[in-house]
Amino acid sequence: MRELQNEENALFDTVEKRTSLAGSNRMEILLFSLGTNEHFGINVFKVREVSQTPFITRTPNMPAGVEGLISLRGNVIPVLSLGRILDLTKPGAPLGGAMMVTEYSKRTLGFLVDSVDRIVRVDWEKVRAPENVSSSSQTFITAITELPDGRLVSILDVETILANTFGDAVVGNIAPISHGHECSVFFVDDSSVARRKITEVLDKLGVRHKHAQNGLEAWNRLQGIATHADQVGRQVIDEIDLILVDAEMPEMDGYVLTRNIKADLRFNGIPVVMHSSLSSDANRAMGKRVGVDAYVAKFDADVLAETIRPMLNRGRR
């Protein structure tokens, strides 16, 4: 395990330099096991380090699946058992042998797993939304991909795990835009939790909106909107004031989607905002590399609203 820890953490030390992935429609996932025949993965950009399972301080009144707390470099963080959350671990079974320290949506969490395998690079176009999956863990799986050796890997929906364990982020009072009914936002996110929260923000702003559930669907719909605008003698900017994209999505990620939008002259003048649980400097650099106009970390409703508000105000002609 020590060798694995050193190897993986050496890879994580260079993760901030991986901006070359921007626009390649590829991502790197860390493979791990929960002690079953299933194989799981998580985006490397969400993992800060890997270690052996540390001593965990048990605390009362913790949400289901939270085993307790640990102190990590002066910070106290909760530790979750992924096996218990996905209902794959029998009651009384020992905790997993490894812990992944994750950082996303402005939260640092420890995820207990049975064992960690390795990091692999996968093409987003080979990543699909789960279909006809009867496993009790389906709720927490955002996508499935196949490795060259034929193994199927379930990619975790960590946003849903966070919301299910600690509750949804609360959307407070957001002042509406005076001309909101004239504004239209197109957004795309593969997480049902994120779509629900984005909808709440846009509804409070009083703007019209449409959405898609993955990057490829979004690109096809946007091209359809552009084609229709051409046919009726209008511009796309007359139909859409702002496009909000997630970073991680099956079939086409947000970086490729943004690059496609920015390369198509029909979308000139329409700002693209990336809204992602990946909040590191590397991910911001990747967004800048493909031309996003702003990058907002999930999920802070006030920051999202105040980021897009001036863009929508500026967009009214």
Peptide bond connecting 299 to the previous residue in cis, omega within 30 degrees of 0: yes
Cβ(258)–Cβ(264) below 8 Å: no
- Ranges 27-31, 79-83, 122-126, 127-131: which has the least confidence: 127-131
**How high is the pLDDT of residue 171?**
82
**How high is the pLDDT of residue 16?**
45
Residue 302 in tokens:
């006030």
Q: Is pLDDT at 236 greater than 90 in this prediction?
A: yes
Q: Give the H/E segment covering residue 291.
A: none
DSSP 80-98: EEHHHHTT-S-TTPPPPSE
Interatomic CA distance for residues 57 and 78, integer angstroms: 10
Q: Give the H/E segment covering residue 77.
A: strand 75-81
Q: Is pLDDT at 1 greater than 50 in this prediction?
A: no
Arithmetic mean of pLDDT over the chain: 86
Interatomic CA distance for residues 274 and 293, integer angstroms: 8
- Ranges 31-40, 49-58, 206-215, 278-287: which has the least confidence: 278-287
**How high is the pLDDT of residue 56?**
94
**How high is the pLDDT of residue 128?**
85
Residue 292 in tokens:
């996003």
Pairwise pLDDT comparison (24 vs 211), residue with the higher score? 211
Cβ(23)–Cβ(288) below 8 Å: no
Interatomic CA distance for residues 257 and 261, integer angstroms: 6
- In single-letter form, the type of residue at position 301 comes to A
Please provide the size of the chain in residues: 317
pLDDT category at 219 given cuts 50, 70, 90 is very high
Question: Which of 55, 67, 24 lies closest to 254, judged by CA?
Answer: 24
**How high is the pLDDT of residue 222?**
98
Coil, strand or helix: which one is 257?
Answer: helix
φ and ψ at residue 229, rounded to 5 degrees = -60, -40
Cβ(108)–Cβ(78) below 8 Å: no
DSSP 13-24: HTGGG-GGGTTT
Which residues, in sequence order, are bridge partners of residue 122? 27
**How high is the pLDDT of residue 10?**
52
Q: How far is CA 50 from CA 8, 31, 69, 310, in A?
A: 7, 12, 16, 41
**How high is the pLDDT of residue 191?**
85
**How high is the pLDDT of residue 226?**
97
**How high is the pLDDT of residue 68?**
94
Residue 275 in tokens:
């809204």
Interatomic CA distance for residues 226 and 85, integer angstroms: 43
